[in-house]
Homo-oligomer: A and B are copies of this chain.
Amino acid sequence: MKAISERKQQVIATAERLFSEKGYLATSVRDLAEALQIEAASLYSHVKSKEDLLWGIADRCADQFFATVEPISAAEVNTKEKLTQMIIAHVQVICTNLAASAIFLREWRHLSEPRKSEYAQRRANYEKMFRNVIRQGIEENLFKHYDEGFSTRTILSAINWTHTWYRPDGELTPEKVGENLSSFLLNGLIRTI
């Protein structure tokens, strides 16, 4: 496989940070170069193009979400437990890859075709894992009979937003955040006892 030089790793890490902070379009190649304290043209020793950089980040991040959540999705556990664990795992990926996750969740839209459509498909496949477990829960009469797409979108939007507010230096561990979110979404805000 292709080994990734240490310097290229720095380029990628800086790009992740800037793309997630300011957005892909608002980050110029010169901004990125300045953050690395080199000239803009020098970036092209490490990277083929600005969009290739975005693509690489998006690609690797998608891999990580799949690698973390897919095993849980395929495991044999009861439905409630499975959804809980998937939420916790998903949130964990976000919290430990805040910058890259922002690309997975938002900035991928700025890929150009055909990559953009391919990526949208990949994201849809990812979300289908959540959709499937939710459908399962509905069929088992364990989950409420909302439209299955509605429930999926509501849960995903609530947990995805984590990437905008989670701070690694805060007091909450990623796991605790995931537990709180799954508990909230499964049981609701209202006290029942």
**Residue A154 at the B interface, CB < 8 A?**
yes
Chain B residue at minimum C-beta to C-beta distance from A155: B189
**Residue A80 at the B interface, CB < 8 A?**
yes
Q: Separation in Å of the A193 CB from the closest CB of chain B?
A: 10
Q: How many copies altogether?
A: 2
CB-based contact B189/A143 at 8 Å: yes
| Contact with A181, one of B80, B154, B181, B187 (Cβ below 8 angstroms) | B154
Q: Which size class do A's interface residues fall under?
A: 20 to 34
Encoded as 1 (CB less than 8 Å from any B CB) or 0, chain A from 15 to 37 comes to 00000000101100000000000
CB-based contact B151/A161 at 8 Å: no
Q: Separation in Å of the A24 CB from the closest CB of chain B?
A: 9
Contacts of A154 in B (CB 8 A): 158, 161, 181, 184-185
Question: When chains A and B are docked, how far (Å) is the Cα of A158 from the Cα of B160?
Answer: 9
